[in-house]
Amino acid sequence: MLRTECDRGGVEWRQPCPVDGVTREGDGWRVDTPHGVVRASSLVVATGGLTVPTIGATPFGYRLAAQFGLPVVPTRPALVPLAFAPDALARYGDLSGISTDVEIACGGGRFRENLLFTHRGLSGPAILQISSYWDGREPLAIDLLPGIDAEGWLVDHARKDLRLDTLLAERLPKRFAQQWCAAHGVARSMRELGEARLRGVAADLACWRVLPSGTLGYAKAEVTLGASTRALSSKTMATRDVPGLFFIGEVVDVTGWLGGYNFQWAWSSGHAAGVAA
Ligand SMILES: Cc1cc2nc3c(=O)[nH]c(=O)nc-3n(C[C@H](O)[C@H](O)[C@H](O)COP(=O)(O)OP(=O)(O)OC[C@H]3O[C@@H](n4cnc5c(N)ncnc54)[C@H](O)[C@@H]3O)c2cc1C
Cis check for the bond before 16: say yes or no (omega within 30 of 0): yes
- Domain count across the chain: 2
Q: Is 51 in the pocket of ligand 1 (CB under 6 A)?
A: yes
d(CA 63, CA 59): 6
Report the predicted TM-score, pTM, of the whole model to 2 decimal places: 0.86
Domain co-membership, 86 together with 170: yes
Domain co-membership, 124 together with 202: yes
CATH code, domain with 232: 3.50.50.60
pLDDT at 163: 97
pLDDT at 226: 66
pLDDT at 130: 97
Separation of 100 CA from ligand 1 center, angstroms?
Answer: 30
Domain co-membership, 110 together with 174: yes
Domain co-membership, 247 together with 271: yes
Question: Can you list the positions of beta strands (E) in 109-198?
Answer: 109-117, 121-123, 140-143
Separation of 167 CA from ligand 1 center, angstroms?
Answer: 45
Q: In this structure, are strands 223-225 and 214-215 parallel, antiparallel, or unpaired?
A: unpaired
Domain co-membership, 92 together with 72: no
d(CA 70, CA 53): 23
Question: Domain span at residue 126?
Answer: 82-215
Domain co-membership, 187 together with 246: no
pLDDT at 227: 62
pLDDT at 228: 65
pLDDT at 55: 82
Separation of 249 CA from ligand 1 center, angstroms?
Answer: 8
Q: Is 139 in the pocket of ligand 1 (CB under 6 A)?
A: no
pLDDT at 49: 86
pLDDT at 231: 86
Domain co-membership, 150 together with 234: no
Domain co-membership, 179 together with 106: yes
pLDDT at 51: 84
Residues 168-191: pLDDT tens digits? Answer: 999 999 999 999 999 999 999 999
Using left for φ > 0, alpha for ψ between -120 and 50, and beta otherwise, residue 174 falls in alpha
Separation of 51 CA from ligand 1 center, angstroms?
Answer: 8
pLDDT value at 162 more than 80 = yes
Q: Is 69 in the pocket of ligand 1 (CB under 6 A)?
A: no
CATH code, domain with 137: 2.40.30.10
Q: Which three-class secondary structure state does DSSP give residue 105?
A: strand
Q: Is 58 in the pocket of ligand 1 (CB under 6 A)?
A: yes
* 34-61: average pLDDT: 90
Distance between alpha carbon 130 and the CA centroid of its chain, in Å? 7
pLDDT at 54: 82
Distance between alpha carbon 271 and the CA centroid of its chain, in Å? 25
pLDDT band at 225 (very low <50, low <70, confident <90, very high): low
Q: Given 199, 215, 231, which residue is the final one in a domain? A: 215
Domain co-membership, 251 together with 187: no
Q: Work out which ligand 1 atom sits closest to the CA atom of 256.
A: 11
User: In sequence order, what are the residues at sequence separation of 6 or more whose Cβ sits closer than 8 angstroms to the Cβ of residue 46?
Assistant: 61, 248, 249, 251, 266, 270
User: In sequence order, what are the residues at sequence separation of 6 or more whose Cβ sits closer than 8 angstroms to the Cβ of residue 174?
Assistant: 165
Separation of 197 CA from ligand 1 center, angstroms?
Answer: 50
Domain co-membership, 101 together with 210: yes
Residues 82-98: pLDDT tens digits? Answer: 999 999 999 999 999 99
CA atoms 52, 58, 62, 66: torsion sign: positive
Residues 87-126: pLDDT tens digits? Answer: 999 999 999 999 999 999 999 999 999 999 999 999 999 9
pLDDT value at 256 more than 90 = no
